[in-house]
Structure 1
Amino acid sequence: MRIACIAFTAAGEALADRARAALPGHAWSLARGFGADRVPLAPWCADAFAASDALVFVGAAGIAVRAIAPHVRSKVSDPAVIVMDEGGRWCIPILSGHVGGANALARELAGAVGAAPVVTTATDGRGVWAADTWAVSRGMAIGEPERIKDVSARLLAGGEVALWCDAEVLGPLPARVRRAPSRAEAHVIVSPAARPGERALHVVPRCIVAGVGCRRGASADAIEGAIRAACAEAGILPDSLGAAATIELKRDEPGLVEWCAGRGVALEAFTADALAAQPGDFSSSAFVAQTVGVDNVCERAAVAAGGRLCAGKLACGGVTVALAELPWTCSFDEPGGRGGAG
């Protein structure tokens, strides 16, 4: 985790140094605010908010609240924000407690410096299952963050939540979470797909590989547009994209490389012979075969990456896309269990 930390006194700076030394597994940057020759708070906060996974303020909570206020956008994208008093007594997550991981980091920081974590989210305080925390811990995405509160409210009121999952469910379900008898009756749906009219909270495993073929010079925007069109036609949620695959000739195609970097997905490339050896029925193009040595790139590449083809070739703006679903499971085991592609 990339942690940007700022302190405002010598005591606070010493505490920040203790935390960094005790938690070397994170990438830390430390700054000193206020006074002569110190880092100005507003630009520091703007840069840290954009580039870090977590911000840690060692000082008054009011300073942190005013500093981050212009930058707060969404519980899905905002970084974790934590405040520690300079005496090292309290460690308080104030933003992105669940999805951003502030609650977990606050507990980690508190344990490192001997502070007390002050976690104020209702689900944590009541020991109620938090769908968003669970999803993030399993490497999954949240489809509609505004629906998280509906699930939490149902549990906090003493009700039950019905869960539907497209894959095998491992481990015991949390208290008052039960298996839904049908997808239509679910409050939480764990799936890479969404169906029209569904009002459930979608938890999205990153289990879809996009097989991509493209003409030379295709832009990242063109590739994004084609992949979104393929997802829309197949009812696949774009957040489920976890990997991309193509032919070896396109491994260094700038637009494709840029798209993968922007999405944070790995790109796997296969030789024409490896693609030609894939079993199955694929659409065929004599022109593609003459150009790159195999009759189809996108479908064959998606399958070669280990997926089961779930959306065949779609051509859009000089880009061809096919989608395949990688094997995945849904785990409710203790930490160490995984949910998502794998």
Structure 2
Amino acid sequence: MSTDNNDSGSSCKAPDSDGEVADEIAIVAFERKMDTADEIVEGIGDRYETIDVLEYHGDVFEEYWGEYDCFVGLMASGIAMRKTAHLLDDKWDDPAICVVDEELTWAIPITGGHHGANQVADDLASMGAVPAMTTASEAADKQGVEKQAKALDAHVVNGDSTVATNLAVLDDELGPVERLDGPKAVLVGDDVTVLKRNKDHGEGVVLGTGSVSGATEDQFVTAWEQALESTDYDLEDVEFVATATRKDDEEGLLSAADKLNLGVVAFEKEVLEDFEGPTPSKSKELIGWPGIAEASAIAGGRNHDLVAEKTRYDDAVTVAVGR
């Protein structure tokens, strides 16, 4: 069974050459579990370019190894581990593996957490499964560089560097991704992760965003549109949405960004303090955080400056435009 969803309008995804996200997945299921496999296709199939269902047999992983970005094993984790262990070679080339039980209770990334398995587990969470992630950045509720790459519509060029840079993420020492426009030659060390854009966004802008808890998808979309009206830019010029880690689980923000095919980059408090905006903020007085909208817009912009200071929509969403 195969479902092609190239026109689904789901969130932007990087090429699978580096295995950083999953665009093409295969659900491997025993015959008796095909109804659950079909349920998964129905529930999250529109988030992928291709989603196939393969009936399990002893050599199914070996037969299709390399043809998919991620295998979703509808089976016990031990089966998936034993049947794929001898196939594993390099985490940047191997397909990711995520297992889920028949009741859709647990979604467990086995290998390739940062290369598609965590993404699939997150998607299965929308169907009620608990994503059991053990990668360090996710366990610490931080956004690793691979996840940042996806939000920036980029991919990691030098995978070995992510060990050092993700440790810096855990220690709140990485800061925002720096931009460099060429033509230029760059000399970097082993502890510098290079992200390559998947497409040229030109002189794009960043939507720095704060909100009250529970703001809706429509409120976010309208606030972004209105903020851009005061500039020479529109939604097609937006590179990504920037916010604070304390807001990175806002359902309305995430669904609005997904609707507009935008990634979300979340900055730690320490980063935002280094890029504080010009407009006084009540949040600094009340909770010690700088104003999220302006600080995240400045931190995320290539030039670290503002195109438009913060505006507030419907007493719910605050937006600043950075460049």
CA displacement at 1:150 relative to structure 2: 0.5
- 1:93 paired with 2:84, answer no
- 1:20 paired with 2:11, answer no
* Equivalent residue, structure 2, for 1:202: 194
CA displacement at 1:153 relative to structure 2: 1.1
Q: What is the TM-score normalised by the length of structure 1?
A: 0.48
Q: Distance in 2 between matches of 1:192 and 1:206?
A: 17
Residues 157-172 of structure 1 mapped to structure 2, 5 A cutoff:
157-161=171-175, 163-167=177-181
Q: Distance in 2 between matches of 1:120 and 1:131?
A: 16
Alpha carbons 2:158, 2:194 under 8 Å: kept: yes
* Equivalent residue, structure 1, for 2:142: 128
CA displacement at 1:32 relative to structure 2: 2.7
CA displacement at 1:15 relative to structure 2: 1.5
* Equivalent residue, structure 1, for 2:52: 29
- Of 64, 86, 109 in structure 1, the residue corresponding to residue 124 of structure 2 is 109
1:107 partner amino acid: D
Question: Which structure shows the bigger proportion of residues in strand conformation?
Answer: 1
CA displacement at 1:41 relative to structure 2: 2.5
CA displacement at 1:92 relative to structure 2: 0.8
Change (3 A) 1:197 1:121: closer
The C-alpha deviation readout for 1:8-45, integer Å capped at 9, x for no partner, is 361x3221121112223143322332xxxxxx322x21
1:110 partner amino acid: A
1:95 partner amino acid: T
Q: Distance in 1 between matches of 2:92 and 2:25?
A: 18
Residues 248-267 of structure 1 mapped to structure 2, 5 A cutoff:
none
- 1:84 paired with 2:100, answer yes
CA displacement at 1:53 relative to structure 2: 2.0
* Equivalent residue, structure 1, for 2:68: 52
Q: Distance in 2 between matches of 1:71 and 1:197?
A: 32
Q: Distance in 2 between matches of 1:162 and 1:88?
A: 36
* Percentage of matched positions with identical amino acids: 24
Alpha carbons 1:142, 1:204 under 8 Å: kept: yes
* Equivalent residue, structure 2, for 1:219: none
Q: Distance in 1 between matches of 2:158 and 2:185?
A: 11
Q: Distance in 2 between matches of 1:329 and 1:204?
A: 17
Residues 174-323 of structure 1 mapped to structure 2, 5 A cutoff:
195-196=186-187, 198-199=189-190, 200-207=192-199
CA displacement at 1:60 relative to structure 2: 1.0
Change (3 A) 1:148 1:68: same
1:204 partner amino acid: K
Alpha carbons 1:192, 1:205 under 8 Å: kept: no
2:196 partner amino acid: V
* Equivalent residue, structure 2, for 1:118: 132
CA displacement at 1:141 relative to structure 2: 2.0
Alpha carbons 1:46, 1:71 under 8 Å: kept: yes
- Of 125, 134, 151 in structure 2, the residue corresponding to residue 137 of structure 1 is 151
Q: Which runs of 5+ in 1 are unaligned?
A: 34-39, 168-190, 209-327
Change (3 A) 1:204 1:129: same
Q: Distance in 2 between matches of 1:49 and 1:329?
A: 37
- 1:156 paired with 2:148, answer no
Change (3 A) 1:53 1:64: same
Change (3 A) 1:331 1:198: farther
Q: Distance in 2 between matches of 1:19 and 1:193?
A: 46
Alpha carbons 2:151, 2:262 under 8 Å: kept: no
Q: What is the TM-score normalised by the length of structure 2?
A: 0.51
Q: Distance in 2 between matches of 1:155 and 1:121?
A: 13
Change (3 A) 1:144 1:330: farther
1:205 partner amino acid: R
Alpha carbons 2:153, 2:197 under 8 Å: kept: yes
Change (3 A) 1:29 1:8: same
The size of the alignment, in residue pairs, is: 187
* Equivalent residue, structure 2, for 1:8: 30
2:34 partner amino acid: E
Change (3 A) 1:192 1:151: farther
Q: Distance in 1 between matches of 2:90 and 2:117?
A: 14
Which has the higher Rg, Structure 1 or Structure 2?
1
Q: Distance in 2 between matches of 1:84 and 1:8?
A: 12
Alpha carbons 1:147, 1:201 under 8 Å: kept: yes
Q: Distance in 1 between matches of 2:148 and 2:42?
A: 29
Q: Distance in 1 between matches of 2:116 and 2:185?
A: 26
What is the CA RMSD across the aligned residues, in angstroms? 2.8
CA displacement at 1:66 relative to structure 2: 1.7
* Equivalent residue, structure 2, for 1:61: 77
Alpha carbons 2:36, 2:102 under 8 Å: kept: yes
